[in-house]
Amino acid sequence: MSEVKLHVTGMDQFFESAVEAARRIDAGDLREQPADLAFESMDLLLKVLTPNRWRLLRALKASGSSSIRHLAQSLRRDYRGVHADVAALIEAGLIEKTPDNAIFVPWDRITAEMAITEAA
Protein backbone atom coordinates (compact mmCIF):
# COMPACT_ATOMS: atom_id res chain seq x y z
CA MET A 1 0.00 0.00 0.00
CA SER A 2 1.39 3.41 -0.92
CA GLU A 3 1.01 6.04 1.76
CA VAL A 4 1.86 9.70 2.14
CA LYS A 5 1.99 11.46 5.51
CA LEU A 6 1.19 15.15 5.74
CA HIS A 7 2.41 17.10 8.74
CA VAL A 8 3.55 20.48 10.00
CA THR A 9 7.23 20.82 10.80
CA GLY A 10 9.79 23.51 11.46
CA MET A 11 13.08 23.70 9.60
CA ASP A 12 15.05 22.15 12.49
CA GLN A 13 12.76 19.13 12.63
CA PHE A 14 12.85 18.83 8.83
CA PHE A 15 16.66 18.64 8.81
CA GLU A 16 16.69 16.22 11.76
CA SER A 17 14.38 13.90 9.83
CA ALA A 18 16.59 14.15 6.73
CA VAL A 19 19.70 13.28 8.78
CA GLU A 20 17.88 10.32 10.34
CA ALA A 21 16.83 9.06 6.91
CA ALA A 22 20.43 9.35 5.68
CA ARG A 23 21.64 7.37 8.72
CA ARG A 24 19.12 4.59 7.99
CA ILE A 25 20.27 4.40 4.37
CA ASP A 26 23.95 4.44 5.35
CA ALA A 27 23.25 1.57 7.78
CA GLY A 28 21.78 -0.45 4.91
CA ASP A 29 18.12 -0.02 5.84
CA LEU A 30 16.59 0.30 2.38
CA ARG A 31 13.03 -0.62 3.38
CA GLU A 32 10.38 1.47 1.70
CA GLN A 33 9.22 4.30 3.94
CA PRO A 34 5.96 6.21 3.63
CA ALA A 35 6.27 9.39 1.60
CA ASP A 36 6.39 12.50 3.72
CA LEU A 37 5.00 15.94 2.83
CA ALA A 38 5.89 18.65 5.33
CA PHE A 39 4.22 22.03 5.58
CA GLU A 40 5.72 24.94 7.45
CA SER A 41 2.42 25.85 9.13
CA MET A 42 -1.00 24.40 9.82
CA ASP A 43 -2.51 27.33 7.93
CA LEU A 44 -0.56 26.33 4.82
CA LEU A 45 -1.55 22.67 5.11
CA LEU A 46 -5.22 23.63 5.42
CA LYS A 47 -4.89 26.11 2.56
CA VAL A 48 -3.63 23.32 0.30
CA LEU A 49 -6.00 20.62 1.52
CA THR A 50 -9.36 22.41 1.45
CA PRO A 51 -12.65 20.51 1.78
CA ASN A 52 -13.25 20.80 -2.00
CA ARG A 53 -9.77 19.45 -2.74
CA TRP A 54 -10.26 16.58 -0.29
CA ARG A 55 -13.54 15.65 -2.06
CA LEU A 56 -11.69 15.92 -5.38
CA LEU A 57 -8.95 13.54 -4.17
CA ARG A 58 -11.51 11.01 -2.94
CA ALA A 59 -13.50 11.15 -6.18
CA LEU A 60 -10.39 10.84 -8.33
CA LYS A 61 -9.07 7.90 -6.30
CA ALA A 62 -12.45 6.14 -6.59
CA SER A 63 -12.71 6.68 -10.35
CA GLY A 64 -9.09 6.03 -11.30
CA SER A 65 -7.21 8.16 -13.80
CA SER A 66 -9.31 10.81 -15.49
CA SER A 67 -9.26 14.02 -17.45
CA ILE A 68 -9.84 17.25 -15.55
CA ARG A 69 -12.97 17.87 -17.61
CA HIS A 70 -14.45 14.47 -16.72
CA LEU A 71 -13.54 14.99 -13.06
CA ALA A 72 -15.22 18.41 -13.05
CA GLN A 73 -18.37 16.91 -14.55
CA SER A 74 -18.46 14.06 -12.03
CA LEU A 75 -18.04 16.56 -9.16
CA ARG A 76 -20.60 18.93 -10.72
CA ARG A 77 -18.09 21.76 -10.43
CA ASP A 78 -16.83 24.46 -12.76
CA TYR A 79 -13.90 23.30 -14.94
CA ARG A 80 -11.71 26.30 -14.02
CA GLY A 81 -12.11 25.69 -10.30
CA VAL A 82 -11.30 22.00 -10.63
CA HIS A 83 -8.32 22.83 -12.87
CA ALA A 84 -6.96 25.25 -10.24
CA ASP A 85 -7.45 22.65 -7.49
CA VAL A 86 -5.75 19.95 -9.56
CA ALA A 87 -2.79 22.25 -10.25
CA ALA A 88 -2.39 22.96 -6.51
CA LEU A 89 -2.61 19.26 -5.65
CA ILE A 90 -0.06 18.36 -8.34
CA GLU A 91 2.30 20.99 -6.95
CA ALA A 92 1.82 19.54 -3.45
CA GLY A 93 2.55 16.01 -4.72
CA LEU A 94 -0.89 14.56 -4.01
CA ILE A 95 -1.90 14.11 -7.68
CA GLU A 96 0.25 13.01 -10.63
CA LYS A 97 -0.16 13.04 -14.41
CA THR A 98 0.23 10.18 -16.86
CA PRO A 99 2.18 10.72 -20.12
CA ASP A 100 -1.15 11.35 -21.90
CA ASN A 101 -2.09 14.04 -19.30
CA ALA A 102 -4.67 12.01 -17.39
CA ILE A 103 -4.54 12.73 -13.67
CA PHE A 104 -4.58 10.22 -10.83
CA VAL A 105 -3.98 9.86 -7.10
CA PRO A 106 -0.86 7.68 -6.61
CA TRP A 107 -1.60 7.10 -2.92
CA ASP A 108 -3.78 4.44 -1.33
CA ARG A 109 -3.69 6.29 1.98
CA ILE A 110 -3.17 9.94 2.93
CA THR A 111 -2.56 10.58 6.61
CA ALA A 112 -2.47 14.07 8.11
CA GLU A 113 -0.77 14.56 11.45
CA MET A 114 -1.79 17.68 13.34
CA ALA A 115 -0.47 18.71 16.73
CA ILE A 116 -2.62 21.09 18.76
CA THR A 117 0.55 22.60 20.21
CA GLU A 118 2.05 23.59 16.85
CA ALA A 119 1.92 27.26 15.98
CA ALA A 120 -0.51 28.16 13.21
Angle between helices 51-63 and 79-92 (to 10 degrees): 90
Task: State which residues of the chain have pLDDT below 50.
Answer: 120
Interatomic CA distance for residues 117 and 91, integer angstroms: 27
Output the pLDDT for position 96: 96
Output the pLDDT for position 36: 82
Q: Whole-prediction pTM value?
A: 0.78
Is residue 68 within 8 Å of 77, Cβ to Cβ? no
Output the pLDDT for position 10: 66
